[in-house]
Amino acid sequence: MAAVLQILLAAALLLGGVPTASAQNYPNRPVRVVVGFPAGGPTDVIARLVSQKLSDALGQQFFVENVGGAGGNTASGQVARATPDGYTIMVVSTGFVVNPSLYAKVPYDAVKDFAPVTLVAVSPNVVVVNPSLPARSLPELVQLIRDNPGKYGFAGPGVGSTPHLGGELFRLAFSLDLVHVPFTGAAPAIQSTVGGHTPIAFTALPPALSAAQAGQLRALGVAASERATQLPDVPTFAEQGIKDQEADTITGVLAPAGTGKEIVDLLYREIARAVGQADVKERLTVLGFKPVANRPEEFGARIKLEMERWGKVVRDAKLRIE
């Protein structure tokens, strides 16, 4: 009788179309890779780089789909509700961990609704100034702002971005009269600083890199535990006596919660293998990123840490998007 019941149950599952997926037959059709930002930005570029490597390694197309809106919230909400079969995954940036504190309401739970796969790469924030500004170090910049209350603002790529929050962290640490000037993205923020209209900018490394290397901007400090390979002569915040100001822009891969561990582990192994390849390392370095490719549980711990850290900055700076 028990054997009969087992057969009937298996038949019912088969007829009912219950989705099943395992690493043994995965992937057997194209995989959707969601990015919550328009094409061309760093998150999109890294997503396409990773997707191509996964397509080559696993024999099925991993195709990028850009789903913009609400600082990445729209895309995250969609993926949170996707079938957890491995055929929808997501590449996220720091906004994923900031938005739950910044927005009055988001359509996802950053911890409960997702299975971390890997933190692909990180890029530090940098402080850059127009060369006409007299400050040549971060302490000199602090003194300049203190000597000229109400005069200076800093350009940043939108409210709630990692550079914006890094600037707020800097402002709060020194009780500075320094106002955030939000732009629609990193490129116009950098253009404003190059033009001297907003002579200070907090930005992720990639959009500022070429201007800093060309001398159009003066980089004063790197918000990381070590110097950036791309700007070896620029000291870190800590080297200039400014502690606890590290601010990375993170780029990682997630799957919907409930995705099988075998699939998550397979994706992690293949992405880690790809990130270890010389051409990928070189591309990430040119973009201003440092390869990471950590384990799923390590990325999960990093997500919680980033949420706690930036949530405090959002609250202390009294930031809110309704």
The ranges assigned to domains in the chain are 30-123+248-316, 124-240
The CATH number of 30-123+248-316 is 3.40.190.150
Please give the pLDDT value at position 17.
42
Phi and psi torsions of 29, nearest 5°: -155, 170
The closest of 16, 19, 79, 70 to 47, measured between CA atoms, is: 79
Cβ neighbours around 14 below 10 Å, total = 10
Say if CB 242 and CB 143 are below 8 A apart: no
Evaluate whether 30-123+248-316 and 124-240 have a shared fold: yes
Please give the pLDDT value at position 75.
97
- The token pair that represents 163 in the structure block: 């550079």
pLDDT tens-digit profile, the chain (322 residues): 444 444 444 444 444 444 444 567 999 999 999 999 888 888 999 999 999 999 999 999 999 999 988 889 999 999 999 999 999 999 999 999 999 999 999 999 999 999 999 999 999 999 999 999 999 999 999 999 999 999 999 999 888 888 999 999 999 999 999 999 999 888 899 999 999 999 999 999 999 999 999 999 999 999 999 999 999 999 999 999 999 999 988 999 999 999 999 999 999 999 999 999 999 999 999 888 999 999 999 999 999 999 999 999 999 999 998 8
CATH class held by domain 124-240: alpha beta
CA angle at 136 for the pair 290 and 173, rounded to the nearest 5°: 70
What Å distances lie between residue 22 and 86, 113, 143, 236, 302, CA to CA?
9, 20, 59, 45, 27
